[in-house]
Amino acid sequence: MTKGWEIKHQRNVIGFLSMPRLDQPWFFCQFKQTAAFEEFKPMFDKELELLNTGLVSEEVMAAWEEAVETIDALGLILVSLDDSSKITDFLLHIDGEEAWFRY
């Protein structure tokens, strides 16, 4: 298993995921943001806030799906720190210094 990933938006590194712990299908990691992440932080905060509601209604579920689509539209890429392999299709949640994703 890789030791971590860069999160890239276009050519900019917006954060790092490290020390993964696998709990199928999720990778749980420590998250370290770069200054470039500040632009994207409100999008991840909104997505997580909606997720944490438990998606209890169709309206909340639709709002969460829209938040995920907004993040997906950014075209973020996870680049392995081990071998530079890339993951382009994934779901990523960020909560402070913790993050988890699946692909």
**Mean pLDDT, the chain, as a whole number?**
95
**pLDDT over threshold 80, residue 68:** yes
**pLDDT over threshold 80, residue 1:** no
Could you tell me the CA-to-CA distances from 68 to 3, 9, 13, 56, 63 in Å, in that order?
A: 26, 16, 20, 17, 9
pLDDT value, residue 45 = 98
29-53 pLDDT per residue, tens: 999 999 999 999 999 999 999 999 9
Instruction: Note down the domain range covering 13.
Output: 4-102
**pLDDT over threshold 70, residue 2:** no
- pTM score, whole prediction: 0.93
pLDDT value, residue 63 = 97
How many domains would you assign to the chain?
1
